[in-house]
Structures are given as C-alpha cells and as structure tokens.
C-alpha cells in the first residue's frame, strides 16, 4: 500500500513537470495544444519583417506568442531552450472603436496559428516550423524554408526571437546566452 501511494505521488510530480510540449499524431503531424493556458511571452501589432510598406496600416494584426510552461521555467533558470520546446504564434484581427474604447486597437478573431518546435531527434536542423492555419494539425515546413533561414540568421537566442520578448531578453542578457551574431548586429544598430 505504501509503495502504491509513493508511486502515485511520483506520478503526480512527473505529470506536473513534463508532457506539456509538442505532441505528434501517428501520421507525424503536430497537433494543436491548449496553448491559451501556456505561458505568454509578448504581443506585437502590425509587425512587418519585409519592407515597411508591406504592412496593412488600416487593418493591422496582433500576434501573441506562447511557450509550453516547463520550457519557460527551464529558460528562466538557464537562458536556454530544452529539447521539446514548443512556441505558438497566434495571429488575430484588431478592432478600433468599440464599447468604451475610442482609440487604439484591441484583439478580435483568430486569423491563423503557427508553431515552432525544437526536437533534436525528429529534426536534423533542431527547430522546425508549422502553419496550422485555422486547423488542428500541421506538418513541418521543409528545412530549407524561409522560416528556418530567417530564424537561424536573425534570432537573439538559438532560433527564437527573444529580442521581442522583454522578460526573456532580460534573462538571456543576464545568463549571457544571446547569439553572438545577434549581439554583433545590435551593437552596430
């Protein structure tokens, strides 16, 4: 009886600490997690990575970024992402006037959901990128995709845009885990 209870205790502890990262179905597709209960990293409005004119100033979109909780806690401790880290990027429409709001923008419907996964066994390039659209499952973009090249060339920590997540930028700066290429570019700006 005592052994059984200890086993149960260990099970509770384990389920609280792991298993909150990426899940793949039998066909190897990434399945949509309950990311709205994950840890929030930051939001942008109308962020534009190509030429500034490519944005739509009349209908800017919000992007909200979430990460699985156990990886967040590991990053706060070490400034690095453990294997099986998963990011979710949620893109939403914005509204202007509405209810008591007379200026600025607030969030409305989901436009699409994207994800990034670190899985060293599954992906030779370590990080892979996924577009869920409005669906519940997604396949990885090829390793040669523009997602992979842009993240590996411009991200502040490993392949992740920590430069846009103020709470994590503080951690990475303190733990000295910023990518050297990012540090060199920032110094030149």
Residue count (the chain): 189
**CA–CA dist 140, 123 (Å, integer):** 9
Instruction: Tell me the window of 25-33, 105-113, 117-125, 137-145 that interacts with a second copy (CB under 8 A).
Output: 105-113
Does residue 45 bind a second copy (CB under 8 A)?
Answer: yes
Reference 30, options 147, 153, 133; nearest CA is 133
Q: What is the DSSP letter of 26?
A: T
How far apart are CB 137 and a second copy at their closest, in Å? 20
What residues are paired with 92 via a beta bridge? Answer: 62, 110
Strands 137-138, 30-31: pairing is antiparallel
The residue from 8, 10, 14, 183 that contacts a second copy (CB under 8 A) is 8
Question: CA–CA distance from 154 to each of 51, 76, 121, 130, 182 (Å)?
Answer: 16, 21, 24, 18, 7
Contact 88, 71 (CB under 8 A): no
| 26 vs 100 by CB, closer to a second copy | 100
How far apart are CB 77 and a second copy at their closest, in Å? 14
Does residue 91 bind a second copy (CB under 8 A)?
Answer: no
How far apart are CB 147 and a second copy at their closest, in Å? 13
Binding residues vs a second copy (CB under 8 A): 1-2, 5-6, 8-9, 12, 16, 36-37, 39-40, 42-55, 60, 62, 64, 66, 69, 72, 92, 94, 98-110, 150, 154, 156, 161, 163-164, 166-167, 185-186, 189
């Amino acid at each position: 009886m005592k052994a059984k209870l200890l086993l149960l205790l260990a099970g509770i502890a384990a389920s609280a600490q792991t298993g909150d990262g990426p899940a793949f179905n039998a066909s190897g597709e990434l399945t949509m997690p309950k990311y709205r209960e994950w840890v929030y990293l930051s939001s942008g409005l109308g962020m534009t990575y190509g030429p500034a004119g490519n944005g739509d100033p009349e209908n800017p979109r919000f992007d909200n970024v979430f990460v699985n909780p156990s990886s967040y806690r590991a990053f706060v401790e070490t400034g690095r992402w453990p294997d099986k880290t998963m990011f979710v990027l949620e893109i939403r429409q914005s509204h202007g006037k509405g209810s008591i709001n007379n200026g600025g923008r607030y969030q409305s419907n989901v436009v699409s959901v994207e994800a990034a996964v670190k899985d060293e066994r599954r992906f030779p390039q370590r990080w892979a990128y996924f577009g869920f659209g409005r669906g519940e499952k997604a396949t990885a973009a090829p390793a040669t995709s523009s997602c992979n090249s842009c993240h590996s060339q411009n991200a502040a920590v490993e392949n992740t845009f920590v430069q846009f997540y103020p709470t994590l930028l503080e951690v990475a700066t303190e733990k000295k885990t910023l990518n050297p290429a990012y540090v060199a570019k920032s110094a030149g700006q």
